[in-house]
Amino acid sequence: MRLADVAVPVPLAQAFTYEVPEELDARLHPGARVIVPFGNSRRVGVVIDRREGEPPKGCKKVLSAPDDVPSLPEDLLVFVRDLASYYFAPIGDALKLALPPADQATQQQLKEPTLFDRKKGVAPKRVAWAVPSDGAAPERTTKHQKALLAHLRATGPMPVARLVERWSTARSIVKALATSGALTLEEREIEPDPFFLTEIARDAPPQLTDPQIQAVKKIGDALASGAPKTFLLHGVTGSGKTEVYLHAIASARLANKGALVLVPEIALTPQLVSRFRARFGDDVAVIHSALTPKERWVMWQRLRKGELDVAIGARSALFAPISNLGLVVVDEEHDGSFKQEEGVRYHARDMAILRAHKLRGVCVLGSATPSLETVHLTRTNKAEKLRLPDRARAQEMPRVETVDLRKIGPGPTGDKRISVTLHRALEETLSRGEQAILFLNRRGFAPSVRCLACGEMCECGSCSVALTFHKRSGMLRCHYCDMATPLLVPCPKCKAPALALEGLGTEKLEETLKLAFPTARVARLDRDVATGKAIEKVIDRVREREVDILVGTQMVTKGHDLPLVTLVGVINADAALSLPDYRAAERAFQLMVQVAGRAGRGDKKGRVLVQTYTPTHHAIAFALTHDVDGFIERELTDRRELEYPPYSRMALVRLDGVDEAECKRAAQVIARDIRAARIEEVSVIGPAPAPIERIRGRFRFRVMLRSKDRAALRKAMLVAARSRKALPRGVRVVLDVDPVQLL
């Protein structure tokens, strides 16, 4: 009997066996999409193996095969299987990352509503949007209805299709909420791809610096050799790393090889896309979440057929079916957003190295502040470092100074977070007609609200975090579960009219600056005011000199080239240092150096003021002199002594559940089973409550595993994977290999 093992996108580790009808036998090669019966529905699956044998009891037949050739080329199929194995992810869920969106024919075979026009096979011109209103929610509201409505009220209108990605039953939820008047449904026209709205003139490559020439030659030689190679391109901010990428891609194309460029967040890097279009024309695939299903399908097909050979995107672009892929670039490789924190918890940087290696290609990891893991690769001869020590246009690095908030008081605003030193620097910058960026990694008007009478903090009812007050909407919001509620006075606990706003967020900082500098044009860049292409509109206003002071979260640190910015202020450098995470110093240092790099990129010198209560902390001290190498040496020494990565491998078993006691017992069972396995090379730490003990009403525990031996760590994780099968169904268990976020 002809059989096919099919991976179906469900959270189960195994593939499922189906009988192959004779008429489909010639088409069902590994990597082919198939429509199969699964339970009471039909699913799109992927053939991962073919064999002859006796079918298992109850074996069903493959219903159809949508494609004439396998959707996933052999190399991509093998890569995804290896990824799933390494991260202990269900093979079906992992393969779903690489599958194209369902086309019209496939959707009809699945008997699902199609997003494609049935007659013409093109995307409709209008899509449904859910728009929150002031209407009350239904009296009997489910938890999913509450969560979806809170999400909309916190983030604003959103396409229903985007909500479905988060809540599988979103369409029915939206209809119920629309009936009650809590939201309205609107049809809106689909706008063209924002990355191709404007014409871009073709450019000519500039004269390279000597270090750039050397880097381009090294990468070119590696591409020509046909041997796998990984490079760390370590260049100071403004040193011309992008130009090296462009030359490397040109070399790859001359050798008839494809190229993939991964960026931390595509919405924050439209100027990078513009540079690629200027160099290579519009035959560049830009993979991002704003594409319609039809646009994604067309883009995927053009890549699969080899019509496009360059793709740019965030971490999901890692799975693009680029023909003859020979070069993978990871820009800002240190950025934590390359780690997927839900579903298949892969790290795109690490997997980019793997994908390039399997194809005997070249991987280039670029950063001004490289991660310690990547630095360790260079020191263990697994990667080669290429240095760009100076700015490409010979500008001086900005002068960095600390402002000791223990000794220096507030300026005229009276707020100590806008010190007299920073206030005077802003005055001088504005008087010269120059621009400033102020970095504060806290959204909202006030990070917390407390009653001065009883001391009670306004906390989220579902998460162990303080609610943030957003003045524009008048709401208290949780930045973890999106719950929103009006600010209630008097105090809900003691009824005293004594609620006080504590702390400083970007919304309050913006308001304070507008009052302090009434003639200055102040703008804000954070998730509350800008998402998607709106981010670039804010940055364009800065470039066009329509903004004098830009206030923002870490969104302002992301590689923007703003020549007239000469002053950068870090409002509170200590915030990132205080997190209970062994990477806290590394992240704080990277943020400070990256945001400092926005200053002085034009013809005028830059100045950076870092406000802090701990000016002697090594992360701040090294940032003052842009001493990346010095910080790396100090931090690696600390990591080596404590046996933290990169000198060991780490994994987390994360558990959460509604019942705190049940979840704690489950964590104890897993920790006990791992210890009982007596894997000597593995340290088992915990179980312990997570630093944030509750999110979305679920209590959180974790067991930390650490080992210098990756094979030993894998044995321990296999024990955890077996143990979780016997745990109560109310406890959710996630295996997180190489975790980045520990909160």
Provide the CATH number for the domain around residue 172.
1.10.10.10
Residues 225 and 311 in one domain: yes
| pLDDT of the residue at 112 | 55
Percent of all residues in the chain with a pLDDT value above 70, rounded to a whole number? 92
d(CA 10, CA 96): 9
Same-domain status, 339 and 236: yes
Indicate if 279 and 368 belong to the same structural domain.
yes
In a domain, residue 491? The reply is: no
- Residues of the chain scoring pLDDT < 50: 113-125
Per-residue pLDDT, 119? 37
**What CATH number is associated with residue 312?**
3.40.50.300
Q: Is residue 471 part of a domain?
A: no
Collect contacts of 18-22 with beta carbons under 8 A, ≥24 apart. Answer: 18/59, 18/60, 18/61, 18/62, 19/55, 19/59, 19/60, 19/61, 19/62, 20/50, 20/61, 20/62, 21/61, 21/62
pLDDT tens, residue by residue, 171-200: 888 988 888 888 888 887 655 566 676 778
Same domain, 553 and 658: no
| Sign of the torsion formed by the C-alpha atoms of 263, 267, 268 and 271 | positive
User: pLDDT value at position 192?
Assistant: 57
Q: Is 707 helix (H, G, I), strand (E, B) or coil?
A: strand
Of 594, 614, 638, the residue that ends a domain is: 638
Q: Which of 110, 143, 177 is the last residue of a domain?
A: 110
The answer to whether residue 117 sits within a structural domain is no
94-121 residue pLDDT tens: 998 998 876 555 666 666 544 443 334 4
β-pairing, 499-502 vs 468-470, is unpaired
Whether residue 233 is found in the same domain as residue 148 = no
Same domain, 509 and 409: yes
What is the number of residues in the chain?
743
Instruction: Give me the CATH number covering residue 86.
Output: 3.40.1440.60
477 within some domain: no
Task: Write down the mean pLDDT value for the chain.
Answer: 86
What confidence score (pLDDT) does residue 190 get?
A: 54
Structural domain harbouring 586: 399-442+504-638
Q: Determine the pLDDT at residue 298.
A: 81
SS (H, E, C) 490-528: CCCCCCCCCEEEECCCHHHHHHHHHHHCCCCCEEEECCC
Question: How many domains does one find in the chain?
Answer: 5
Are 70 and 153 in a shared domain? no
Q: What pLDDT does residue 115 have? A: 41
Same domain, 148 and 289: no
Three-class secondary structure of residue 693 per DSSP: strand
Residue 118 placed within a domain? no
Does one domain contain both 215 and 295?
yes
Are 380 and 231 found together in one domain? Answer: yes
